[in-house]
Amino acid sequence: MPDLMSALAFEDVSKAFGGVKALRGVTLSVAPGDAHALMGENGAGKSTLMKIAAGIHRPDSGRLLYKGQVLDLVAPRAALAAGIGLVHQETLLFPNLDVAENIFAGHEVRRGWFVDRRAMHARSAELLAQLHLDVDPATMVSRLSAAQQQLLQVARALAFHCEVLILDEPTTSLTDSEVDHLFAVLELLRSRGVTLIYVSHRIPEVFRLCRTVSVLRDGQHVGTWPLEGKSAHDIVRAMVGRDLETGHGQGKVGEAVRLDVRGLARHPHFRGVDVQVREGEIVGLFGLIGAGRTEVVETIFGLHRPDEGTMRVDGESFAPHAPADAIRRGVVLQPEMRQSQGLFFNLPISENLLLAREAARNGWMRQLGRERGECEALLTRWGIKAASIDVPPDSLSGGNQQKVVLAKWLATAPRVLLLDEPTKGVDVGAKHDIHHLIRQEAALGMGCLVVSSDLPELLALADRIVVLKQGRVQGEVPRGATEEDVMQLATRAEETDAA
C-alpha cells in the first residue's frame, strides 16, 4: 500500500552492481517534516538507496513515491527539480572553481543571459555564515581542508531550498563544534518543514537530531522505529545483529620511547610540537578543524619537510626525505582520505594490500603466488568483506575500504603507526573491529598516534590525548579524562586568543 502520508517512500526497491546486490527489495517511507535517520553497517546499501532518491542510480526494480506520487527520476537534475537534495558521502566538488561557484554550479543565479556573480557571492557568504564556515566565497576549493570541503557540500545543498534534504554522513570530518553549527542549521530547516534524511554511523548524533530511525542490513530493510525510548544498544543490535562489548581494553604501555618528536615546526601549519609515543602506547591527537593534526602526522611520515625540530625513532635520529624512508624505518601513516590517498582503484585488492610493503622492501622481484596466500590471510584476519582479492576496491563498502588501507599498513609490520581518522565513515561494527585491531597491534609493542575528530573514540582508545590548537600543543589529558576535559583545553585556547 502506498503511504500517502509519506514525503518519500521506497517500494520494493532493488539494485545490483554486477554481481553485488546492494539493495534487495527495500520498502521504507519517510514522513513529511521528519528527521529520519538511516543506519546500517558499511555496505548495507544506505548510499545506494539515497542515490536512487537523488536520481543518480535507477533502481533495477521497485519504485519511488514522492508525496504519494510515483516519481521516475532519470537524472540528478530531475531529483533537484522535484526538491530532493543530497549531500554526498564522498567529496564531490570542483577544485578548480571558487567556493561560490561550487555552491551554484549548474544552478547559477542569472541576470538575463549572464551569470550574476555578485548575487552568488552574497548568497554564498550568507550560507557559509550560517554554518560558521569562515572562508571567503572567492577562495578556490582546492585550498580548503577536508572539513571545510565537507561543510561546503552542505552549504551547496542548502542553496537549493529542497523539500527533502538527504545528508549522507556529512560529519565524518567534523569535530563537535562544527557539528553543532550544522545541527543548528538542520533544526532550523526542520522547523520550516523540510524533511531530513540523515545517514550516519555516529549514534549520539542520530539521537540528537532525529526522531525516527530506519535500519538496513545487507541491502534489506530491518525496521523503522521512533527513536524515543530507544537506546544506542538497540540500534547497534538492529544493525549488526549482535551485541558489541564496549571494552576499553587497556593495553600495557612499555618504557621504551618508540617515537620522540621535539620542537617540530612547519610554518604556517604548526610549531613547537612535542609528542612522545612509547611502545604499546596509543596516543590521541585531538584538535578542532584545521588545528594542523594532519600536517603533523604527514610531516612525521616524510611527506613534508619540517622547518624545525628533531625526531627519533627508537632512540635513533629520524629525518625521512620521503614516505619510503619512513616506511623503511617502521613509521607508517594511514592517511585521512582513503579514496584519494589510500587506494588504487585500478588495481585488485591484493595489490592494494601489498604495494606498500613491497615498495619498502629491498628486493625487486615479486612472488605473486605466495602473495595471494598472504592477502587472503589479511582478508580473513581483518574480516574484510570482498568477493575476492582480485576485485578492485571500488566494489567494497567504505568500512571495508578503510580496513584495506589499515591492513595494508599493518602488513608492513610497523613500529610506529600514525592513524589519521582511522574510523572515518566506518560503521559501528567495523569501528569496533578496527579499535580491537589497533589495540591488538599496540599490545605487540607498536606505538600508535591517532588523529580523530571523534572525541568519544579517542577517549575510548587512547592512553592519553594531546590537544592541538592552531598548530600548537595546548596540553594533554590522561586516560579516564572526560570530553569536557579535552574540550576545555581546546576552548581555553580559543578564549585566550579572543582576549
Partner 1 sequence: MSVATLATPRSRWANLLRTRELSTLFILLAEIAFFAWYLWPDGGGRHPFVNAENGLLILKYSAIYGIAAVGASMVIISGGVDLAPGAVIALTTVILGHQYLESQWSLPASILAGLGVGVLAGGLSAALVVLVRLPPFIATLGVMGITRGLAYIVTEGRFFDVSARIPPKWAPLGVPLDWIAPIVMVVLMVVFHLFMRHVQAGRAVFAVGGNETAARYTGIRVGRIKTMVYVVSAVLAALSGVILVLGQGQGKADLATGYELDIIASAVIGGASLSGGRGSVIGAVLGTLIFGVLRNALPQIPGATFYDRLIVGLVVVVIVVVDQLLARRQE
Ligand X SMILES: Nc1ncnc2c1ncn2[C@@H]1O[C@H](COP(=O)(O)OP(=O)(O)OP(=O)(O)O)[C@@H](O)[C@H]1O
Q: Which partner from the list Mg ion, partner 1, ligand X, none does 269 bind, CB cut-off 5 to 8 Å by kind? A: ligand X
Site string for Mg ion, 321-360 (x = CB under 5 A): ---------------x------------------------
Burial degree of 265 (CB within 10 A; 0-12, 13-18, 19+) = middle
Binder of Mg ion out of 47, 200, 400, 423 (CB under 5 A): 47
Q: Which partner from the list Mg ion, ligand X, partner 1, none does 463 bind, CB cut-off 5 to 8 Å by kind? A: none
Binder of ligand X out of 6, 13, 46, 186 (CB under 6 A): 46
Site for partner 1 in 134-153 (CB under 8 A): 134, 136-140
Dist. CA 107–CA 33, nearest whole Å: 25
Query: Whole-number minimum distance, CB 228 to partner 1, in Å?
Result: 34
Q: Which residues contact 194 (CB under 8 A, 6 or more apart)?
A: 33, 162, 163, 164, 165
Applying CB under 5 A, the span of 86-94, 349-357, 403-411, 438-446 interacting with Mg ion comes to 86-94
Applying CB under 5 A, the span of 45-53, 107-115, 222-230, 258-266 interacting with Mg ion comes to 45-53
The upper half-sphere exposure of residue 35, i.e. CA atoms within 13 Å in the direction of its Cβ, equals 19
Applying CB under 6 A, the span of 59-67, 183-191, 357-365, 396-404 interacting with ligand X comes to 396-404
- Asked whether 33 and 195 are in contact (CB, 8 A), the reply is yes
Q: Which partner from the list Mg ion, ligand X, partner 1, none does 42 bind, CB cut-off 5 to 8 Å by kind? A: ligand X
Binder of ligand X out of 37, 141, 227, 291 (CB under 6 A): 291
Dist. CA 198–CA 208, nearest whole Å: 11
Query: Whole-number minimum distance, CB 269 to ligand X, in Å?
Result: 5
For residue 363 the three cell numbers come to 628486493
Dist. CA 398–CA 394, nearest whole Å: 9
Say how many residues make up the chain.
499
Q: Which residues contact 31 (CB under 8 A, 6 or more apart)?
A: 5, 6, 7, 195, 212
| 293 scored as a contact of ligand X (CB under 6 A) | yes
Nearer to ligand X, 220 or 276 (CB): 220
Nearer to partner 1, 231 or 340 (CB): 340
Q: Which residues contact 340 (CB under 8 A, 6 or more apart)?
A: none
Query: Whole-number minimum distance, CB 194 to partner 1, in Å?
Result: 19
Binder of ligand X out of 85, 251, 284, 292 (CB under 6 A): 292
Give the number of other CB atoms < 10 A from CB of residue 90: 14
The upper half-sphere exposure of residue 390, i.e. CA atoms within 13 Å in the direction of its Cβ, equals 4
* DSSP helix/strand/coil, 41: coil
Nearer to partner 1, 268 or 480 (CB): 268
Site for partner 1 in 142-201 (CB under 8 A): 156
Dist. CA 77–CA 101, nearest whole Å: 17
- The site for Mg ion (CB under 5 A) is made up of 47, 89, 294, 336
- The site for ligand X (CB under 6 A) is made up of 17, 20, 22, 40, 42-48, 89, 143, 145-147, 173, 269, 287, 289-295, 336, 395-399, 427, 453
